[in-house]
Amino acid sequence: MTQTDEAILETIRDEGNMTPQALDDTFDIAAANYARDRLSELTRYGLVEKIGRGLYRLTDDGRAFLDEELDASELDPVEDTD
């Protein structure tokens, strides 16, 4: 979990469902596909979920992490994230 991952989760919590492009624009990230790659990793660990083509939302575990009720280091990757 990186500081940017936490910032992504906080942004989705505060702004609502988001796309990777919207996150790239929000953080002014120059690296192509950075937010998409991070969202894939956050999805893999159940902190966000893909709810449509390129649209992600925060899960209950994501909220619990942000509320410091869940330690992300204790999460196991999920087999199927599609």
Task: State yes or no: pLDDT of 20 exceeds 70.
Answer: yes
Looking at the chain, the whole-number percentage of residues with pLDDT higher than 90 is 56
Nearest CA-CA partner of 38 in 16, 12, 70, 5: 5
What share of residues in the chain are helix, strand, coil (percent, to 5)?
50, 10, 35
The span from the CA of 52 to the CA of 76, in Å, is: 23
CATH class held by domain 3-68: mainly alpha
Its pTM stands at 0.85
Residue 80 — very low, low, confident or very high, per pLDDT cuts 50/70/90? low
Answer whether 21's CB lies under 8 Å from 53's CB: no
Residue 32 — very low, low, confident or very high, per pLDDT cuts 50/70/90? low
Interstrand relation of 55-58 and 48-52 (parallel, antiparallel or unpaired): antiparallel
State the chain's mean pLDDT as an integer: 88
Domain positions in the chain are 3-68
Instruction: State residue 31's pLDDT score.
Output: 60
